[in-house]
Amino acid sequence: MCAKTIDDNTPATTEELYSSLLEGNKQFVKNTLASDPEYFEKLAAGQSPPVLWIGCADSRVPANQITNMPPGEIFVHRNIANMVVHSDMNMLSVLDYAVNVLKVKHVIVTGHYGCGGVMAAITNQQYGLIDNWLRHIKDVYRLHASKLETITDLNERCDKLVEYNVIENVYNLCKTSIVQNAWKNGQQIGVHGWVYSLKTGLITDMKVTAYDNANMQNVFKFK
């Protein structure tokens, strides 16, 4: 059985969809071994990815696929709207492991245009538990409100907020003791901000790369 796609004429039932995932896995293994009989042995031997990707949980933004990288090259953390929140122990644990154990060379915050989380954050609607998470995006809006509110088209305003959200979360990464201690200890780590377009498939570099805390406000610097 092959997995049904959104292009199929008839929707898959719940059972068919579930079964197709398992059948798809078997086909993946078969195809992979046909091209490289030692693929899984090599993959199981360990990982040393040079990149940590902090991205949105959106299913349309798979880190490896859109960068054309094989498994084992990108360590991935994803959440709603690619946030770096200083009290998020999940994100901090991933960051700590990536920096201090895996010794990644790059940490990339990647947002995407048309982000549902960002769009939800610029409305006045209540959505439930997620409202507490979206509050962090609203704070980004507050920082850039004077520019955002000159944009009358709601979708364009959302996309501009996507960019500001990436930029602010790059700054949030740089503020962490994890990244700053790595820099202080001589680790070569670049922190970057990207935005991916679902319409074109292209990534835009937000040009906020940092390799040290030299340009950070003094109050956030650790000695």
Q: Which of 115, 136, 159, 174 is catalytic?
A: 115
Q: Is 78 a catalytic residue?
A: no
8 Å CB contact between 17 and 4: yes
Q: Is position 174 annotated as part of the catalytic site?
A: no
Confidence of residue 7 (pLDDT cuts 50, 70, 90): low
Single out the catalytic residue among 2, 7, 36, 56.
Answer: 56
Q: Which of 36, 77, 78, 112 is catalytic?
A: 112
Q: Which of the following is catalytic: 2, 7, 8, 58?
A: 58
* Known catalytic membership, residue 157: no
- Pick 49-220's CATH classification: 3.40.50.2300, 3.40.50.10420, 3.40.1050.10, 3.30.70.100: 3.40.1050.10
Residue 12 binned pLDDT confidence (cut-offs 50, 70, 90): confident
pTM: 0.92
Summarised one tens digit per residue, pLDDT across range 156-208 is 999 999 999 999 999 999 999 999 999 999 999 999 999 999 999 999 999 99
User: Domain map of the chain by residue range?
Assistant: 1-46, 49-220
Mark whether 139 is an active-site residue.
no
Among candidate residues 60, 86, 135, 205, the one labeled active-site is 60
- Catalytic residue at 115? yes
Q: Please, which residues have CB within 8 angstroms of residue 221's CB and are 6 or more apart in sequence?
A: 180, 213
Mean pLDDT of the residues in the chain = 95
